[in-house]
């Protein structure tokens, strides 16, 4: 179980343990219906040329316009995972990380203390996600600004908005400024369904981003990430349609789960959290039928499910799920 409680994904490990065949991967919070033009754009890339600096600026400008902040406060990185770790090293010092939360948050800062009550993290750096992973908790901008104010001059609010594309009204990106001790991390792959592109962004004060760029060095992103990322962020129609479609799919999945007797919750439409179950047993039951989900070692009564990409996938999950309660 260690591989499956560590992170989503791991189809190779699932096949090795439970057998080969047509797997339905619901272990991640990645949009199962990706932005459709990525393949054509990647195929048109000149793979012999170094990525162009102007293309990097174009990507950051397009992303900034979508996030709602100035482009010089945005730095593209090869995946949010790398951005989290590099910024943690640059800021240094200790702090707190919210639990439950994303595993890397605990490793970002030296001597980081886990807090389940955010009020406990007063006057020190605080790492949290909004919407939160894995429980889907969503804080309002007013709540986040209060947390930022309480950092004072001794800490930073390090806000992981990896799933915020589905919740633009809750993003704090518009508050990014040189005078604010606020850093935001954004992920491209989850909402756009293209996690393999390894594209993310760090939003923050310009001095911090300059230090981050020095760490990244020249050509931090491949040419395909530059081309696909900029075009996708400029596709306002697809983005609006995807937000609506994700909410509809999440509502259908909720109805299925509740119809089977499960307690389900979370505001983020990219994944649903089932509580009050034997997570390991339910994971194993579904894996035996080649459906991969996400259990948690520290929350054995939870199981997280991503969205099926179509009606056939949802029907397959309905057939495989045992009734509960």
pLDDT for the residue numbered 119:
82
* Domain end residue (candidates: 234, 259, 294): 234
In this model, does residue 110 exceed pLDDT 90? Answer: no
pLDDT for the residue numbered 84:
98
* Residue located via tokens 């939160």: 132
In this model, does residue 295 exceed pLDDT 70? Answer: yes
Is the bond into 311 cis (omega within 30 degrees of 0)?
A: no
In this model, does residue 1 exceed pLDDT 80? Answer: no
* Domain end residue (candidates: 204, 234, 264): 234
Residues 59, 114, single domain; the answer is: yes
Q: What is the CATH number of the domain that holds 251?
A: 3.90.1150.10
Residues 174, 106, single domain; the answer is: yes
Q: Which residues of 86-102 are buried (b: 16+ CB within 10 A; e: fewer)?
A: bbbebbeeebbbbbbbb
- Residue scoring higher pLDDT (6 or 132): 132
In this model, does residue 325 exceed pLDDT 90? Answer: no
Residues 27, 47, single domain; the answer is: no
Residue 109 within a domain: yes
Q: What is the CATH number of the domain that holds 224?
A: 3.40.640.10
Residues 111, 213, single domain; the answer is: yes
Residues 42, 142, single domain; the answer is: yes
Q: Which range marks the domain in which residue 113 is found?
A: 38-234
Residue 325 within a domain: no
Residues 215, 78, single domain; the answer is: yes
Residues 50, 100, single domain; the answer is: yes
In this model, does residue 153 exceed pLDDT 90? Answer: no
pLDDT for the residue numbered 145:
96
Q: Which residues pair with 201 in a beta bridge?
A: 76, 186
Residues 144, 79, single domain; the answer is: yes
Number of domains present in the structure of the chain: 2
Give the sign of the dihedral formed by CA 294, CA 165, CA 153, CA 216: positive
In this model, does residue 121 exceed pLDDT 90? Answer: no
In this model, does residue 305 exceed pLDDT 90? Answer: yes
* Domain end residue (candidates: 209, 234, 259): 234
> Region 8-34: what's the mean pLDDT?
96
Residues 86, 212, single domain; the answer is: yes
Residue 148 within a domain: yes
Residues 105, 182, single domain; the answer is: yes
Residues 135, 200, single domain; the answer is: yes
Tell me, letter by letter, the H, E, C secondary structure of 34-82: CCCCHHHHHHCCCCCCCCCHHHHHHHHHHHHHHHCCCHHHEEEECCHHH
């Amino acid at each position: 179980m260690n591989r499956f409680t560590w992170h989503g994904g791991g189809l190779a490990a699932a096949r090795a343990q439970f057998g080969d065949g047509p797997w339905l991967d619901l272990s991640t919070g990645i949009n199962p219906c990706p932005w459709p033009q990525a393949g054509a754009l990647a195929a048109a890339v000149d793979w012999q040329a170094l990525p162009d600096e102007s293309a990097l600026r174009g990507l950051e400008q397009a992303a900034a316009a979508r996030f709602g902040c100035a482009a010089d406060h945005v730095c593209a990185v090869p995946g949010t995972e790398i951005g989290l770790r590099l910024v943690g090293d640059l800021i240094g010092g200790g702090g707190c990380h919210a639990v439950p939360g994303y595993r890397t948050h605990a490793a970002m800062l030296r001597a980081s203390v886990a807090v389940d009550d955010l009020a406990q993290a007063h006057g020190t750096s605080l790492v949290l996600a909004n919407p939160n992973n894995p429980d889907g908790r969503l804080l309002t901008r007013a709540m986040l600004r209060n947390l930022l104010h309480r950092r004072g001059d001794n800490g930073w609010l390090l806000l992981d908005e990896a799933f915020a594309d589905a919740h633009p009204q809750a993003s704090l990106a518009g508050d990014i400024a040189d005078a604010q001790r606020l850093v935001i991390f954004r992920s491209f792959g989850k909402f756009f369904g293209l996690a393999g592109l390894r594209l993310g962004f760090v939003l923050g004060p310009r001095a911090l981003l300059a230090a981050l760029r020095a760490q990244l060095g020249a050509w931090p992103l491949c040419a395909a990430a530059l081309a696909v990322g900029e075009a996708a962020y400029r596709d306002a129609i697809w983005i609006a349609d995807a937000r609506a479609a994700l909410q509809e799919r999440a509502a259908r999945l909720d109805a299925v789960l509740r119809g089977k007797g499960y307690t389900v919750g979370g505001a983020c439409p990219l994944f649903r959290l089932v509580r009050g179950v034997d997570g390991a047993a339910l994971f194993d039951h579904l894996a035996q039928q080649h459906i991969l989900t996400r259990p948690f070692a520290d929350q054995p009564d939870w199981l997280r499910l991503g969205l099926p990409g179509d009606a056939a996938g949802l029907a397959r999950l309905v057939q495989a799920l045992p009734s509960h309660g």
